[in-house]
Amino acid sequence: MAKILMLGGCGDMGRMAVVSLLSSPLVEKVTIADKNYEVAQRYVELANSDKLSAVEIDITNEEELIPLISSHDLVANTIGPFYKFGVPVLKAAIKAKRHYVDICDDWKPTLDMLGLNEEAQNAGITAIIGIGASPGITNLLAVKAYSELDEVNKIITAWGIGWTKMGQKPTYFISKKNLFTKQLQGTRTPNAAIMHLLHESIGKIPIYRDGKLVEIESLTEAEPIHFPGRGGPMYACYIGHPEPVTLSRTLKVNSISNQMFLTKKFTDVLRDYVKQISEGNLTMAEAAIAIEDDLNKFTTKLYLLWVILKRFFRFPPTLCAFALGKKGNRIKKVAIGVKYQPYGEIDEGMDGITAIPLVIAALMILKGEISKKGVFTPEETINPDEFFAYYAKFCKETLTIEDVLMKKVIDL
């Protein structure tokens, strides 16, 4: 049985990872390591599990972090932003000689962490980075779509406002509302997910085009997303996630991009905030808080309408991937997406669909199903079919791969 160190265990993504790890018979102990010890301790009390404990940690203090990691078998990192914390935490895991998984969704630190491959090999550890929703699930969907064709010209990974069934609530689930009482809320801070969204929306981002990486402006309009059989096209733009720089390492293809479909209206609002940040009228933190307020107003006013729309209109899957190429002599498009997602309570279940891939990767390492040493992206070391077999069970015990994925293949 293994001891897991959960960095950022009180955050939206970290909490969902913790409750899922507690249910695994492979796990002897989960330690929530968080800078907010009061909240972490409340989490332990509410969960009421002998497996769970809490510790206060400043992850920028390597002298504290390395011994803490060393006392566990694997460290799971959900502390963002990863452009700030990704590389230092992985270096600490390498020095502690302990396995590592994270949900890094920034392309620059992804490349920096892949550069630590030899050090991880020498330390005898397995590190899987970017195993969340996007990147993570999207990478493995892309591999599955790619494998359907004989020759592939283009890969698109995409995420946004979509249609997906929600899985069952985990045994040890604790709602954010119950965890963060008024006494524990403290000073308002920017939402980490929105901060990341702003960071990846500013300046140049990489896409893979004509067999090489090139840079374009983030939020550049893309061709609309159209998942066959799932309604009309959705407005899309290019966004700075790592898929183009990582999938191009393993897949033989001419073009790879990551795209976001959150409606044209929201994208235009995001562009406006990016402009204000670039012109020095707002800080990124101020913009993140303003966007969160805008989203809360939208949710309050239009929640019922949104429920109706999702019930009667056929949106694409929340996460999907497309491969365009040849099968025999015919030009085809393969579309694969998730039609089930693990339970979550934050932003249409983003916490569950992001945290569970991290948990699956950790369990596969602990079981010895992933034994390669070094630093890897999901597609370099995880078998997609094995992954989605686990994924199905985290959605609902009775589900299979066929239940949680949808695939459409059409002639072009």
Nearest Cα to 286, choosing from 271, 298, 274, 296?
274
Residues of the chain with CATH 3.30.360: 137-341
Tracing tokens 């989605």 back to the chain, one arrives at: 388
Euclidean distance between CA atoms 115 and 402, whole angstroms:
36
Decide if domain 137-341 falls under CATH 3.30.1490. no
Per-residue model confidence (pLDDT) at position 10: 87
Per-residue model confidence (pLDDT) at position 80: 83
pLDDT per position as a tens digit, 380-395:
999 999 999 999 999 9
Residues of the chain with CATH 3.40.50.720: 2-133+344-396
Q: Which long-range contacts (CB under 8 A, 24 or more apart) does 273-276 make?
A: 273/198, 274/198, 274/201, 274/202, 274/218, 274/219
Question: Is the pLDDT reported for residue 305 higher than 60?
Answer: no
Question: Is the pLDDT reported for residue 197 higher than 70?
Answer: yes
Residue type, 82: F
**Mean of the pLDDT values across residues 54-68?**
94
Question: Is the pLDDT reported for residue 133 higher than 80?
Answer: yes
pLDDT per position as a tens digit, 334-359:
999 999 999 998 777 889 999 999 99
Nearest Cα to 4, choosing from 59, 53, 42?
53
Residue 330 vs residues 149, 150, 325: alpha-carbon distances, Å: 10, 10, 8
DSSP label at residue 317: P
Residue 313 confidence class, pLDDT cut points 50, 70, 90: low
Indicate the CATH number for domain 2-133+344-396. Answer: 3.40.50.720
DSSP label at residue 132: B
Question: Is the pLDDT reported for residue 302 higher than 60?
Answer: no
Euclidean distance between CA atoms 219 and 237, whole angstroms:
5
* β partners of residue 3: 29
